[in-house]
C-alpha cells in the first residue's frame, strides 16, 4: 500500500491506502505500485490517477511538477 502527498503553493493533501498511482511523466506514463524502487520523475501536463484500496479512484489534473518515490511514499510537488 502506498501513501501519497500532493503539495502546491496553495495546499497539501495526503492520501493513505493507495493501491496504485498512474503519472504523466515526461518520459511516458508511469505506474507506481507498492514496493516500487526509489525514483524521481519530472511530470508533464495530464492527470494523476490514484486507485484507492477500496477500489475508489481519484483523478487530479496537473500542468507540470515532479514526483519522488521512496519506501512506498510518493511525494508530488506541483
pLDDT at 39: 96
pLDDT in the model for residue 34: 96
Range of the domain at 59: 2-77
pTM, to two decimals: 0.92
- How many structural domains does the chain have? 1
Q: Are 24 and 7 in contact (CB under 8 A)?
A: no
Please report the pLDDT score of residue 60 as a whole number: 95
Q: Determine the pLDDT at residue 28.
A: 96
Give the integer Cα–Cα distance in Å for 13 and 16.
10
Average pLDDT for consecutive 10-residue bins of the chain (78 residues)?
96 96 97 96 97 96 97 97
| C-alpha torsion angle, residues 26, 27, 31, 34 (rounded to 10) | -100
CATH assignment of the domain containing 42: 2.60.15.10
Closest CA to 43 of 77, 5, 6, 8: 77
Amino acid at each position: 500500500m502506498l501513501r501519497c502527498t500532493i503539495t502546491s503553493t496553495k495546499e497539501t493533501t495526503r492520501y493513505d491506502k493507495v493501491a496504485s498511482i498512474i503519472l504523466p511523466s515526461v518520459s511516458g506514463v508511469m505506474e507506481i505500485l507498492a514496493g516500487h524502487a526509489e525514483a524521481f520523475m519530472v511530470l508533464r501536463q495530464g492527470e494523476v490517477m490514484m486507485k484507492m484500496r477500496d477500489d475508489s479512484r481519484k483523478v487530479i489534473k496537473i500542468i507540470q511538477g515532479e514526483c519522488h518515490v521512496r519506501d512506498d511514499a510518493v511525494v508530488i510537488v506541483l
